[in-house]
Amino acid sequence: MLHRQLKIFAVLSLAFPVLFAGVIRMTNANPSVRASGGDEPAGRKGWRLAEGVTYENLTIFPVVAAKQPDTSGFATLDEALASGDAVVTEQGNYLRRTRDGVMEPLPQGGSAQVNQLVLVNRGKKPLILLAGEVVSGGKQDRIIGKDRIVPAGAPPLPLSVFCVERGRWTDVSTSFSAAKMMAHPSVREKAAVEQDQSQVWATVRGGSTYAMRTSPSASAGGSGSGTAAAAPAPAVSESDLQNLIASAAPTESYPKMMKSGRVGASVENFAEQMQRRFERATRDLKGERVIGVVVAFGGEVAWSDVFASSELFDAYWPKLLRSYAVEAVMRPPTRENASLEDARDFIRPAVGHTKEETDPGVYRWREIIFGRTTEIELESLSPTMMTLHWLRVMRS
């Protein structure tokens, strides 16, 4: 009898740590990410990942859905700036009208700062901001630093940004306009994930973080025997960027660099070729619409941008596509392309360190870090709870 009791105790003592570990894993899981069947990205019900569309070293996997929420009650930054419903200025430049009709600076506005602007949403819709969106003007061109929602009628908002024009600090305008441009993934990563101005500047000047991490100096011992030594040259090299800066963009203005000379021509041609292929691949979807994409460069799945609706996706798609094209032309050509299974692996549910920020009644921002991957989710809390934007990035 005693021998049997000891044997049962031994079995339970072995099983308990396994059960306990399972409980801990479940309680640490992101509540919005649950296991699912099929090929639904990150377990979000209703998503489906379609076959990839490839042009040269870029493969884009459409994310499609049959049902989607109504997102017409939100405004994008580009449309709000174009209509005048949103105003973005340097700190200290925003003037408000007093009850007496006198225009005066915003109290405690302070002087202009590299990493902060002032945004006013004067429209009737909540305003969506995505990390990496470019605004031009003021003392320097900037990119939005973090996904967020600005409610209609909110007081002037101190807006976190990153500079993408290192060589200028003089006013070209009192307010900013929409550049209708999204920074390419290497730059977006340094803003949205790393939140580091010096890394943003370095990536604007250097092009792609892929080139930086595979350069001979970055290889073991800096001996020059790294991957990039044997890799074919990209369509746009770092030396091309330096020549362009010297000739057409002396202030290192990101919009000027990406629209000028050889860089601009290469990017436009690449984006047009991919757009034709993408349209052909998605035009005959039966009862489904594209709401996002998963992006691979060569054999590396590295990025995703997924939205709540096809309406939102369509609004952002032109500048997103161009940003992926910028990244692609700055990476070497390759014969290897990522597969659909690679893309599914990239977006499968994951558990990691979670950080949340909430503006009560407006939005929730959530970041999950696991291994080399970071996931960022922007969730609207009003008038309906929905994930407006979902980003996953393979950090460089």
pLDDT > 80? residue 221:
no
In contact, 110 and 84? CB cutoff 8 Å: no
Phi, psi of 177 (to 5 degrees): -115, 160
Q: Is residue 355 in a domain?
A: yes
pLDDT tens, residue by residue, 287-299: 999 999 999 999 9
Supply the range of the domain harboring residue 275: 41-95+110-394
pLDDT band at 110 (very low <50, low <70, confident <90, very high): low
User: Can you tell me which residue has the tokens 């021998």?
Assistant: 3
What does the alpha-carbon distance between residue 106 and residue 70 come to, in Å, rounded to a whole number? 35
22 CB neighbour count, 10 Å cutoff? 10
pLDDT tens, residue by residue, 121-164: 999 999 999 999 999 999 999 999 999 999 999 999 999 999 99
Q: Is residue 332 in a domain?
A: yes
pLDDT > 70? residue 25:
no
pLDDT band at 113 (very low <50, low <70, confident <90, very high): very high
Structure tokens at 243: 């020549």
In contact, 347 and 49? CB cutoff 8 Å: yes
318-327 average pLDDT score: 98
Q: Is residue 36 in a domain?
A: no
Pairing of strands 75-76, 127-129: parallel
What does the alpha-carbon distance between residue 103 and residue 97 come to, in Å, rounded to a whole number? 4
Q: Is residue 13 in a domain?
A: no
96-113 average pLDDT score: 55
Q: Is residue 53 in a domain?
A: yes
Total number of domains constituting the chain: 1
List CB contacts of 18: < 8 A, sequence separation 6 or more: none
Residue 193 amino acid letter: V
Q: Is residue 304 classed as helix, strand or coil in its secondary structure?
A: strand
pLDDT > 90? residue 380:
yes
Q: Is residue 23 in a domain?
A: no
Closest C-alpha to 43, from 302, 348, 346: 348
pLDDT tens, residue by residue, 230-271: 568 899 988 889 998 999 899 999 999 999 888 999 999 999
DSSP states of 165-181: BTT--S-S-SBEEEEEE
pLDDT > 90? residue 203:
yes
Handedness of CA 249, 193, 189, 72 (dihedral sign): negative
Q: Is residue 173 in a domain?
A: yes
pLDDT tens, residue by residue, 40-96: 443 456 889 999 999 999 999 999 999 999 999 999 999 999 999 999 999 877 655
In contact, 303 and 320? CB cutoff 8 Å: no
In contact, 241 and 204? CB cutoff 8 Å: no
Residue 195 amino acid letter: Q
Q: Is residue 64 in a domain?
A: yes
